[in-house]
Amino acid sequence: MSELEALRQELSAVDQDLLEGFRRRMEIVDRVAAHKAKTQAAVYVPEQEVRVLERIQEKVPEKFKSYAQVFFQTLMRLSRERQYEALLGVAFDPKGELQSPETLVILRQLRGKSLEAIETLYPKAQVMEADDLDSACSQVKRGLVDGSFLPLGKELLLAMEKHALCIQACVRVDCRYAVVGSKLRVPEESGTIGLLIRSYRMLSLILTILSDLELAVLRLESLQDEVFLLEFDAALNKGARALYQIEEEAAEVYVLGWYV
């Protein structure tokens, strides 16, 4: 047997120990999730994870410290994800299916193109007008109309965050238009989830969550310094699972909507 083959056999034996330890850890994680479901305790407790990492750093040779930190950060992230999966059914409450709006507000200067699209998509909707995006979003926020039909761009995304609104559908006319309403709606089948992210750190976290769930990023665009638009492809169960974790862990993220 060559020296390399002998080393590979040693690694294989260690891998078996790691797998057994991982299995035991995840079984305990299931019990932790059951306890938190009863006590409504938080899944993500940053202070506890810091304490774990500090203990690990004390027990690892200097040359392995950075590797050990990444290894245990990954273990804890996977443990949180297992808990979110267990708790999802009782914690995530999508707000019903999308109903056709009866009243819509559009921009006065885009009346021609907007009206043509609305007449095709929502032939029974009553149409009102606004002078600018902020005014249109304000009317939706105040409940004066069911929604707005507006060009989807940076200015609208920032106005939506300001007025706490959500994209409910997307349409392409000459450019992308968004039907914007006051509630998050979940499509019957797969759709696109849009996020407004306000830091590089949160962007990195969300990309990791999506990678773990094998959800494809459809669009990633920088709107201004440390402000990003991210859209990802989401089937119902995986989309809800991703949103649950994002809402629990990512404080600098606004959910723009779940739409087709």
Distance CA 258, CA 260 (A): 7
Residue 111: predicted pLDDT? 80
Kindly report the CATH number that applies to the domain delimited by 3-91.
1.20.59
The correct CATH number of 191-259 out of 1.10.3980.10, 1.10.3720.10, 3.90.1150.10, 3.30.70.260 is: 3.30.70.260
Kindly state the average pLDDT of the residues 243-251: 89
Other Cβ atoms less than 10 A from the Cβ of 136: the count is 28
Distance CA 156, CA 148 (A): 11
Question: Helix (H) and strand (E) counts for the chain?
Answer: 8, 9
pTM attached to this predicted model: 0.82
Distance CA 233, CA 215 (A): 6
pLDDT at residue 86 tops 50: yes
Distance CA 157, CA 229 (A): 9
Which pLDDT band, with edges at 50, 70 and 90, does 228 fall under? very high
Kindly report the CATH number that applies to the domain delimited by 103-181.
3.40.190.10
Domain ranges, ordered by start, for the chain: 3-91, 103-181, 191-259
